[in-house]
Structure 1
Amino acid sequence: MMDIPDIILFQRLPFYINYEMQAFIDLEYPDNKILFSDLNQWNGFHELLFDEDRRIQVSKGRQLKDFAKGVLIRIPREVHCFDGAEREGFVKEVNARAKTEHLGFRLAGEDIKKQISGIPPLLYLEKDVFKIIIKKAQAQLVEMPSRQFGLDNLKADGKSLDVLITWYITEQSAVTNWKVAGRHVKIRLPGLGIIDPYRSSKLLDESPVFRLIDHPLPMAIYSERIEN
């Protein structure tokens, strides 16, 4: 299995943690680095004023009000010193604290690390397997990529993050081995409503910035037929 580095999100933007270089490195622009030594230290935290538009740390002496998309990020010191086997429990603990205290960042757990690094979750829909393209909110058939459908406007299953879809199926007869006539069935896609930022944020009463981190999609999603 490929070794994926630890990833931290400053607002929506992913940086990976390079323990050897002692730096946060922009996942999309690797020349863009934020050194640990450049962070302000205060009361058990490392702080940075982050300019989301320019993807950089704001130089010392500037103020938050000077930037339309500036955010103060406070990182517990142990976050960029920790490089151990018990990562998942640590990530959950730190993220719970970051959410409660509005610290401006999240750590990526194992599934999110894979997704951010370009490994898509798979949706098993009846006999078909789809890749979930999160950035485009699309499901793309693995065997035929041109066959795809959008996920952000599907019908909600009540007051939940599950969504419903009507699917056309053909089934093999166990007696005659012939395919029976195609018909429509209703399918539930569990949790996929999280991809719709407007509806999911309203439902969860949360900011859309960290919704996929706080409510992650698993790497394998199994649909459920609810109506024949």
Structure 2
Amino acid sequence: MTSLVLTDSSQLTSDSQHLGIYSSPVASLVLTDSSQLTSDSQHLGIYSSPVASLVLTDSSQLTSDSQHLGIYSSPVASLVLTDSSQLTSDSQHLGIYSSPVASLVLTDSSQLTSDSQHLGIYSSPVASLVLTDSSQLTSDSQHLGIYSSPVASLVLTDSSQLTSDSQHLGIGKVELEEVNPHLRGGRVGKPFRKKPPPVHLTEIRTSISPSSAVELNTTSALANYATKVG
């Protein structure tokens, strides 16, 4: 039903990356990365349809010492991500501030260095969304994962052992019926109050739902992606 496809240009280098997530009219989620990326310049953007109502924008001309990220939500999602300006390779401070509806919080461990980053998104009982980043990150290795509860039904996985020449990202979303009802005007039964259990992120293979499954093969160079629509 969601018909979600992730395509990544193969043989990525530190100077060239092109990622794209194309969703069906239901998921309506798009991730685009500006081409000709360098280790000092990255520009990412997630543009949502009126249904998803989620927007991620990254300031252009990024350098290894300066990053500025922002997530701006529509009146429905009511989600905001702000990053302190003048970031350096040794200092990053991120924050996601949610509206009463989204109730999402992102906290980043302080005193970050280029070799060590530890990020965490802790969800409220409503959002039930968790983002965890493997610790001891280096400039050549990053491993990110977003694990959703049955309420949020959102999954983001990044292939492990990433290098400056190879990155593999995947965003998968389940059917609209499984998305947080608060984000589409529905009712919530029992709120999700616990963080998902720790997951080993060295090898990720996700299957989102029987009717809308997306499998992400976490290899450094992307191969084939297939979306199963029930």
The structure whose Rg is larger is: 1
- TM-score, normalised via structure 1 length: 0.26
Q: By percentage of residues, which structure has more helix?
A: 1
